[in-house]
Amino acid sequence: MVNQDNISSAKKQAEKLTFTIPGSDRLIQSDQTKIEWAQIAPGKVVVATVDRAWLYQPHSIEDRFAQPMEGAGSIATTRKLLDTAIAAAKYAIQSNVRPPALTCTRWVWRLAGAYHLTAPTPRLLKDAAIGFAGNGRSLLKKWALEKAQEEKGHDRLALLDIQSLGYDAEAVVKALVPPAAVALIDYFTRSVQDDDPIDCVGYTYTMERLSLGIGKDYIQNVEALLPPKVNATRCLCVHSSVGADADHVDENVSLISQLTPSERTRIARACYETALMCFSPPPEGYISDEELDQIVQPFKKS
């Protein structure tokens, strides 16, 4: 459940990821060392070993890490590759803009964002499965179909949460469409519709990986803001470290580590691009509580 308004929680998670920038004299040269790398943006390469990972800028086209990745992946190095691509996005966004303090009304906004992120997900994953099947990639087809089943009904949780707060949930999500959720789903959709839908794996990994930054303390803080005896954190709990996302992340890493070097490179780049959207403050600024109140008040049930 990552969107623009819980960006501080997501950034805290990114800050825990391994991220160092050694000088060129510290590059690993031994062919015996298990190593993966991927260019995530022009002049920006993530390099990962079992023990550490870093961001590297190739010095020339002959540079080892300016060349396409070679060799098989492993769970340890692939995890560091993907997580450091996410962390690199956090470091790339140099902004002092902080989201507004959480209020009960703003929680409705976040739930609307969660709805718009989750509602199209099962359908898009099924479309991805069709694309993978067309390319003869049965492993990825199976992954997409299983993921579609796992994500089924999560939009209903967001609607139930909004309803629990005393609103007409269907009317609220029609009126509130957070731009951050739109941007993320547009990226997800384009990835799925590509001749090779592999980028959707990176998108999915990033969203679930960042959800692990939401722990019990954060959930309790949200619950403290809500009216007594109101259960409006169902969707949040599912997309947090107390839900199934930790298992999903492990399963995703296991799958991705088995893919080809070019596929792992594409996925790492998609992780970076997705995380950039998650970490970037909205260019139009955050909607105020006063504006939110004006929008949702007509949908408050008596």
- Return the pLDDT at 221: 94
Q: What is the pLDDT of residues 192-249, one digit of tens each?
A: 999 999 999 999 999 999 999 999 999 999 999 999 999 999 999 999 998 877 888 9
> Residue 53 forms beta bridges with which residues?
48
- Return the pLDDT at 61: 82
Q: What is the CATH number of domain 4-12+95-299?
A: 1.20.910.10
Distance in angstroms (rounded) separating the CA atoms of residues 69 and 85: 15
Question: How deeply is 214 buried, as exposed, middle or buried, from its count of CB atoms within 10 A (0-12, 13-18, 19+)?
Answer: buried
Domain range summary for the chain, segments of one domain joined by +: 4-12+95-299
Residues written for the chain: 302
pLDDT beneath 50, residues of the chain: 3-6, 9-10, 13, 16-32
- Return the pLDDT at 224: 95
